[in-house]
């Protein structure tokens, strides 16, 4: 304990230097801005800003780059709530209730709840990293391919619960998402699948392309069709900050979301994307009246937003303690460290204690700064809703296109986004929801990869997933998955039975 305090005081000593405070602020501000711009993600931004950091000392550079990353997670909820566009996979869930709240004139409350929830989650996660970072690394190493596959199965069962309407339609959308995720080069054999010999498809469909299409472009098309629904959002503004009743309603979801998101964030291979989905499922299941979800329930914003931010922070654990990046943004941070002459690895903590603890301390500062940056901005964001839509939609489209292009520097991606936009519009017309499809898409690729890895290692034996001696975690996760599915399906079965009885 005294060691931790000594370490943290070293960390704050580093983070509180004038230069590092300034860099942390710049990082958080840039992060918030790119989070708000639909499509421009932290990966492209960090890659672009990397050369600018060459002149800085490594700790300051990494403090700034880290600020961009978690700042973007903060800002990403803004577009999800205001214009129904998730900038990141982790913000998909926020669109469900967040945008509904905006339509009811509660955009300010939704934004405020997201900011406060994220702040709380970020602070808790930072303490967890400082106190338990090293021991928690073991958790990342407990998850082999089999455990990971079972976790993904559990995640897909959650997706069914996400459905606002028909479970059958949600199920179809998950399957479609899974199918779309198999487009591209087969990982094991190098064969191209469902690419029709078209080279841009060789690496599969990009998440950003699909999300901007089915959410961003499709939403624009729908709004242009019925201008009156936009006017509802424009005329109702309401309160800017959550009141005591809102906060009381959010406390428990925030606490639960922090635990769920923080735990999943430690896992390698983008486990953090599951956090918000899992949190949303839990809140919907625990709610007294689950039917409020999807219609602007504040818990549906508070829980997932906290989970999202907690996961964004704990994702630093495998990077800092193991030197192995758990996702693409962290891989870029590894590159940044290397370019600055710091070799990421298990020894960073002992070799570069000022960097390690300085970064952790700066994350706490960063969370505070994000709150200070974001709360006053809420008024401004909400005013944006009053901009006439004929001025707003071209801006949204242009930013989406810039963002999409910046992901891979491929012009074809922009064309694909337009196609997905049309597809998304058709889905809306037919009453299918895009969120389960996106979840299926995100999880599908991981799931296939992990399934095949697990089966290759086990020489084709499916027993590996339920081997309670060697892989108890996998078994437990599968049991939870079945339980979630049964609970989700029971009400509809019960209803059907009632119908039978009334006849």
Partner 1 sequence: MKKLTLGLAAAITLALSGAAQAQAYPTRPVTMIVPFAAGGPTDIIARIVGEHMSKTLGQQIVVENVAGAGGTTGIARAMTSAPDGYTIAMGHLGTLSAAPSLYPGLKYDPIAGVQHIGLAGGTPILIVARTDFPPKDLKEFVAYAKANVDKVNQAHSGVGSVAWTTCTLLKGQLGLEKMNAVAYRGSAPALNDLVAKQVDFMCDQIPSVFPQVQANTIKAYAIASAERSPALPDVPTTKEAGLPEFQIEAWNGIVAPKGLPADVTAKLVDALDKALKDPATQKRLLDIGTVIPSATDRTPAGFAALIKRDADTLGPILAAAPK
Name the residues that contact partner 1, by CB under 8 A.
Answer: 43, 46-47, 50-51, 54, 140-145, 185, 187-191, 199-200, 202-203, 268-269, 318, 322-326, 328, 331-336, 338-339, 341, 343-347, 408-410, 449, 452-453, 456-457, 459
Cβ 54 to partner 1, closest distance in Å? 7
Cβ 11 to partner 1, closest distance in Å? 22
Question: Which of 50, 44, 78 shows the shortest CA–CA distance to 64?
Answer: 50
DSSP string, 67-115: HHHHHHHHHHHHHHHHHS--SSGGGHHHHHHHHHHHHTT-HHHHHHHHH
Query: Which lies closer to partner 1 via its Cβ, residue 5 or residue 343?
Result: 343
Number of helical (H) and strand (E) elements in the chain, helices listed first: 22, 2
Query: Which lies closer to partner 1 via its Cβ, residue 192 or residue 384?
Result: 192
Query: Which lies closer to partner 1 via its Cβ, residue 104 or residue 458?
Result: 458
**Which conformational region is residue 38 in: left (phi greater than 0), alpha (psi within -120 to 50 degrees), or beta?**
beta
Largest pairwise CA distance in the chain: 77
Cβ 449 to partner 1, closest distance in Å? 6
User: Which residues partner with 184 through β-bridges?
Assistant: 193
Query: Which lies closer to partner 1 via its Cβ, residue 249 or residue 410?
Result: 410
Residues of 407-416 as b/e, b for ≥16 C-beta within 10 angstroms? bbeeeebbeb
Query: Which lies closer to partner 1 via its Cβ, residue 50 or residue 489?
Result: 50
Cβ 140 to partner 1, closest distance in Å? 7
Query: Which lies closer to partner 1 via its Cβ, residue 288 or residue 459?
Result: 459
Cβ 202 to partner 1, closest distance in Å? 5
Cβ 347 to partner 1, closest distance in Å? 5
- Distance CA(275)–CA(284), nearest Å, equals 14
Cα→Cα distances 203→99, 191, 206, 445, 458, Å: 32, 11, 8, 12, 28
Helix, strand, coil percentages for the chain (3-state, nearest 5):
80, 0, 20
Query: Which lies closer to partner 1 via its Cβ, residue 206 or residue 241?
Result: 206
Cβ 498 to partner 1, closest distance in Å? 47
Cβ 369 to partner 1, closest distance in Å? 25
Q: Give the DSSP H/E element, type plus range, for residue 185.
A: strand 184-185
Cα 30–Cα 366–Cα 299 angle in degrees, nearest 5? 95
Cα→Cα distances 182→55, 149, 195, 203, Å: 42, 16, 10, 10
Query: Which lies closer to partner 1 via its Cβ, residue 333 or residue 488?
Result: 333
């Amino acid at each position: 304990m005294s060691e931790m305090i000594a370490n943290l005081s070293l960390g704050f000593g580093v983070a509180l230097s004038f230069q590092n405070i300034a860099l942390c602020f710049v990082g958080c501000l840039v992060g918030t801005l790119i989070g708000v711009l639909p499509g421009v993600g932290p990966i492209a931004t960090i890659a672009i800003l990397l050369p600018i950091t060459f002149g800085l000392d490594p700790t300051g550079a990494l403090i700034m780059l880290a600020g961009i990353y978690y700042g973007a997670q903060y800002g990403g909820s803004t577009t999800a709530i205001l214009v129904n566009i998730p900038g990141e996979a982790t913000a998909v869930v926020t669109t469900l209730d967040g945008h509904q709240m905006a339509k009811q004139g509660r955009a300010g409350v939704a934004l405020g709840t997201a900011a406060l929830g994220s702040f709380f989650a970020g602070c808790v996660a930072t303490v967890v990293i400082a106190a338990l970072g090293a021991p928690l690394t073991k958790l990342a190493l407990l998850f082999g391919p089999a455990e990971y596959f079972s976790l993904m199965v559990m995640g897909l069962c959650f997706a069914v619960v996400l459905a606002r309407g028909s479970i059958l339609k949600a199920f179809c959308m998950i399957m479609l998402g899974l199918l779309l995720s198999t487009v591209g080069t087969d990982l094991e054999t190098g064969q191209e699948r469902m690419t029709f010999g078209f080279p841009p498809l060789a690496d599969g469909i990009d998440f950003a392309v699909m999300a901007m299409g089915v959410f961003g472009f499709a939403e624009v098309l729908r709004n242009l069709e019925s201008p009156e629904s936009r006017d509802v959002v424009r005329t109702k503004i309401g309160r800017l900050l959550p009141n005591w009743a809102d906060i009381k309603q959010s406390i428990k979801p925030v606490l639960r979301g922090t635990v769920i998101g923080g735990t999943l964030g430690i896992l390698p291979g983008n486990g953090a994307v599951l956090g918000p989905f899992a949190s949303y499922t839990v809140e919907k299941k625990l709610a007294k009246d689950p039917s409020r979800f999807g219609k602007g329930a504040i818990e549906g914003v508070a829980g997932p937003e906290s989970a999202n931010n907690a996961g964004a922070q704990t994702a630093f654990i495998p990077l800092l303690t193991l030197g192995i990046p758990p996702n693409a943004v962290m891989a870029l941070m590894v590159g940044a460290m290397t370019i600055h002459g710091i070799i990421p690895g298990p020894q960073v903590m002992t070799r570069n204690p000022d960097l390690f603890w300085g970064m952790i301390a700066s994350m706490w500062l960063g969370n505070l700064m994000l709150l200070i940056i974001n709360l006053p901005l809420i008024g401004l964001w909400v005013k944006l809703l009053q901009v006439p839509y004929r001025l707003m939609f071209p801006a949204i489209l242009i930013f989406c296109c810039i963002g999409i292009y910046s992901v891979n520097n491929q012009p074809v991606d922009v064309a694909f986004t337009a196609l997905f936009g049309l597809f998304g519009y058709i889905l809306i017309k037919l009453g299918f929801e895009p969120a389960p499809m996106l979840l299926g898409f995100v999880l599908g690729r991981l799931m296939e990869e992990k399934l095949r890895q697990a089966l290759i290692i086990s020489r084709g034996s499916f027993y590996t997933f339920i081997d309670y001696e060697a892989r108890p975690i996998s078994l437990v996760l599968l049991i939870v998955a079945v339980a979630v599915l049964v609970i989700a399906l029971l009400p509809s079965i019960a209803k059907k039975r009632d119908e039978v009885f009334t006849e």
